[in-house]
Amino acid sequence: MKMTIGEIVKAINASLEDQSDEVLQTEVNGVCFDTRKLTPGQLFIPLQGDHDGHDFIENAVKGGARATLWGRDHIDRLPVSIPALVVDDPLQAFQKLSRYYLTKINPRVIAITGSNGKTTTKDMIASVLDDEFNVTKTHDNFNNEIGVPYTILQMESNTDFLVVEMGMDRPGQLDFLSKLVSPDVAVITMIGEAHIEFFGTRDKIADAKMEITHGLKADGYFIYDGDEPLLRERAESLDFAKMTFGRNQTNDVYAVSTSDGQFRTSFEVNLWPDKKITIPMMGDYNVNNALAAIAVGKLFRIPEIEITQKLAHFDLTKNRTEWLTGTKGEKILSDVYNSNPTAAREVLTAFSQTPVVGRRIVVLGDMLELGNQSPQMHASLAADIDSNAIAAVYLIGKDMQALYEKLKPFFAPENLHYYQADQLQQLSEDLKRDLQPNDEVMLKASHGIHLEKIVAKLTA
């Protein structure tokens, strides 16, 4: 993003004391709301969360911020060392600026949501498109009311496609995000139990996910998991063009067969008979994510050979079913960014079938935002942990105690370990002591448990 201060003032209807040409023609080269990551020349966005961003203006100035948004309710502390664009609400102004910039660049927008698989699908779709087009995609987990505008404002001026991931933890969130980006294509990967604490039922989760179509352009496409009845029912009432993917032959794009390996998964698709497609990650469940990407590629007339080649070598966002090697030579399957019962079961099933010389060891942390059903949902994972395939289990978090109690009859005490959420360091030390060079260890939890710290210690 490159814009003059004058252009930004007009775009967001901000007040600015110094209206000299020198100030108005000053160019900013990006936005930042975290002074620890700010680079010289950026516009500082003082957001309010656990801390008030206005309190960090001195750090922003020292870091080289060229200008700052500034809340009208902080006018008594108006900075004088850099231009301050005064607005009623810095977050809303930030969002308004992103909408202006999106309209100015005018890329085609592909918006993706789903209880599982949205990040992998985002990575796959971006890869499928980036041979033919200039593509910007969501970085890391920038998928909410702050992350989506930030993603938009990272676009280069020559961007053809914006592939944007959208998260959701309450009704109305996807409605806002969809209307913000006005997608040309809306993709729903699947409906699971994620965030059921806030919604109560999968039906209500499906209703909330369907909000991604609220901003869909009139001539846009809705691409969704056609094997999910909750989505099929809701899609019937929509006037948009639609494409479905899945395993059933009633879908527009469906897998004919799959072959799951430790580091890659192969499958065939109805569109190209006898053509084997390989993705560089384990898990039959990831085939559906690839099918969604194939549907997008087909929609934009990407040649078959480019789609298959790009899926074979796409860049996966860190900590999503990522194989690493530990300091002892053990193999580590890191899937620590997020977790819910559906995702945990899928990864456990795939991990239990990997070839191994030593032992398979599982580390599971709490799956958050499951509400009153959380203990039962945690305990239900016992059906997916076979003591004949899994040698040892490490569990951490309040609700993982329910799974610990369920597994007691099937594991010897020395092979079943439970830790409170604040015992991450102890778990790490015990696990590191236990692991042997030929072992494989899988780690999965919601991000709030911070199993990435254990991954870091195992690989340091």
Numbered residues of the known binding site for ATP = 114-120
Residue 136's DSSP bridge partners are: 162
Contact 119, 337 (CB under 8 A): yes
Helix (H) or strand (E) holding 392: strand 392-396
Q: How far is CA 180 from the centre of its chain?
A: 18
CB 52 within 8 A of CB 63: no
Three-state DSSP state, 8: helix
**What is the pairing mode between strands 276-279 and 265-269?**
antiparallel
174: nearest Cα among 199, 201, 157: 199
Annotated binding site: 114-120
The phi-psi region of residue 34 (left if phi > 0; otherwise alpha if psi is between -120 and 50; otherwise beta) is: beta
Cα within 13 Å of Cα(339), Cβ side: 32
Place of tokens 């593509």: 135
CB atoms within 10 A of CB 327: 12
Class of residue 6 by CB neighbours under 10 A (exposed 0-12, middle 13-18, buried 19+) = middle
Say which DSSP state 187 is in.
E
Alpha-carbon distance of 291 to 280, in angstroms, equals 14
CA–centroid distance for 310 within its chain? 20
Q: Would you give the distance in Å from CA 267 to the centre of its chain?
A: 24
